[in-house]
């Protein structure tokens, strides 16, 4: 059941991380306006099952006042709210409290702060550290998102004995990660990737919506455009069997998607998302309403 709406409040970000799913950067286009947020909010009572509203991006604190207003509306409508941020705005613990106190007053129920090597190298006393401590002291429920860089595990286990290398870390190979991080990693035959291991594609619990109106079931896989069709209708009429990408991902994972659209039979990939993303990239022109926006595929 759909319980979560995740606003990609902006694709802009202070950073340009190698692992970013959506190619965020300081130059990225696509930021919500208050009117666009309100358009979505008006639809939510018609869906009926929504409990959570998240603000993420990009970096949502870049549009702090809009984020705050969006959280206030969500709060008034009885939704729980969460935020995903890299904490760039936190110059000290004391100053971070200035940013966080209004969020505490609005009962924000989850503040997830990215703090890993992609964002801050090995610097431990960093903006995310200040933000985390400040949130804890204010009593805002807070967690850290730590994405580990990929490594090839050296220890042998059953899987390796069958000839499948193990990639450690929790980086997923889609978006910019495919451009930046894949070159030295071991790969496996495309036919091995027979399911999507990360997203619930038949009956999603959450969807992401960007400022272009795209409703994402996984970043870059679109089930409708909320500026063309009311969101409640997109959700009500969602039928993955009629979606030219999802129907194959659900039946046979990225391998079936690649097979149906003619991938070369001798190609190898790191893991499921790597094959899925590159297959979709080759289908952008064929399915512009189902695979978008182009910038999430690194095309401006
Ligand atoms: S396999 Fe495809 S649909 Fe599933 S999480 Fe990876 S990129 Fe998304």
> 41-45, 82-86, 203-207, 270-274: which range is least confident on average?
270-274
Choice from 20, 198, 255 to test ligand 1 binding pocket (greatest atom count within 8 A of CB)? 198
* All CATH 3.20.20.70 domain ranges in the chain, comma separated: 1-147
**pLDDT, tens digit, 9 for 90 and up, residues 151-208:** 776 555 555 545 455 666 778 888 898 888 887 788 899 999 999 999 999 999 999 9
Digit-coded pLDDT (tens) for 264-296: 666 899 999 999 999 999 999 999 999 999 999
pLDDT at 240: 97
Position 161 scores a pLDDT of 47
In this prediction, residue 158 carries a pLDDT of 53
Q: Is 218 in the pocket of ligand 1 (CB under 6 A)?
A: yes
DSSP the chain: ---EEEEE-BSB-S---TT-TT--BTT---B--HHHHHHHHHHHHHH----EEEEESS-GGGGHHHHHHHHHHHHHTT-EEEEEE--TT-SSHHHHHHHHHHHHHTT--EEEEE-SHHHHTT-SSSHHHHHHHHHHHHT--EEEE-PPPPEE--S--HHHHTT-PPEES----STHHHHHS-TTS--EEGGG--S-SS---SS-SEEEE-TT-EEEEETTEEEEETTTS-HHHHHHT--GGG-TTHHHHHHHHHHHHHHHTT--TT-EESSHHHHHHHHHHTTTTT-TTTB--GGGGT--
Q: What does the pLDDT look like over 200-256, one tens digit per residue?
A: 999 999 999 999 999 999 999 999 999 999 999 999 999 999 999 999 999 999 999
The residue nearest atom 4 of ligand 1, judged by CA position, is: 196
User: Ligand 1, residues 201, 218, 249: which to mutate, most atoms within 8 A of Cβ?
Assistant: 218
- What atom of ligand 1 comes closest to residue 249's alpha carbon? 3
Q: Which atom of ligand 1 is nearest to the CA of 272?
A: 1
C-beta of residue 165 within 8 angstroms of C-beta of residue 156: no
pLDDT of residue 166: 60
Q: Measuring from atom 5 of ligand 1, which residue has the nearest CA?
A: 198
Determine if ligand 1 sits within 6 Å of the CB of residue 249. yes
Query: What top-level class would CATH report for the domain 1-147?
Result: alpha beta
Question: Atom 8 of ligand 1 has which residue's CA nearest to it?
Answer: 218
Q: Is the CB of 74 under 6 A from ligand 1?
A: no
Q: Which ligand 1 atom minimizes the distance to the CA of 218?
A: 8
pLDDT at 52: 98
Tell me which residue of 51, 64, 124 sits closest to 96, measured CA to CA: 64
For ligand 1, say whether the CB of 254 is within 6 Å of any of its atoms.
yes
- Mean pLDDT throughout 109-136? 92
Which has the higher per-residue pLDDT, 239 or 300? 239
């Amino acid at each position: 059941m759909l319980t979560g709406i995740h606003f990609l409040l902006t694709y802009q970000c202070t950073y340009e991380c190698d692992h970013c799913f959506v190619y965020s950067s300081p130059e990225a286009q696509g930021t919500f306006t208050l009117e666009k947020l309100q358009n979505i909010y008006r639809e939510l009572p018609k869906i009926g099952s929504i409990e959570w509203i998240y603000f993420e991006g990009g970096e949502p604190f870049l549009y702090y006042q809009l984020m705050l207003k969006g959280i206030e509306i969500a709060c008034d409508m009885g939704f729980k709210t969460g935020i995903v941020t890299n904490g760039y705005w936190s110059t000290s613990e004391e100053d971070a409290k200035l940013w966080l106190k209004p969020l505490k007053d609005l009962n924000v129920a989850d503040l997830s702060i990215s703090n890993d090597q992609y964002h801050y190298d090995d610097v431990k006393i960093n903006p995310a550290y200040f933000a985390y401590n400040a949130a804890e002291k204010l009593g805002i429920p807070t967690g850290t998102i730590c994405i580990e860089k990929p490594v090839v595990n050296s220890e042998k286990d059953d899987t390796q004995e069958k000839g499948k290398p193990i990639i450690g870390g929790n980086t997923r190979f889609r978006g910019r990660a495919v451009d930046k991080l894949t070159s030295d990693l071991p790969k496996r035959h495309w036919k091995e990737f027979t399911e999507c291991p990360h997203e619930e594609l038949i009956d999603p619990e959450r969807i992401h919506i960007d400022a272009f109106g795209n409703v994402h079931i996984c970043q870059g896989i679109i089930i409708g455009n909320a500026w063309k069709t009311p969101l409640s209708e997109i959700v009500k009429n969602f039928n993955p069997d009629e979606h030219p990408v999802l129907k194959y991902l659900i039946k046979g994972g990225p391998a079936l998607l690649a097979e149906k659209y003619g991938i070369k039979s001798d190609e190898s990939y790191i893991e499921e998302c790597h094959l899925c993303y590159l297959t979709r990239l080759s289908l952008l022109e064929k399915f512009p309403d189902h695979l978008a926006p182009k910038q999430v595929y690194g095309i401006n």
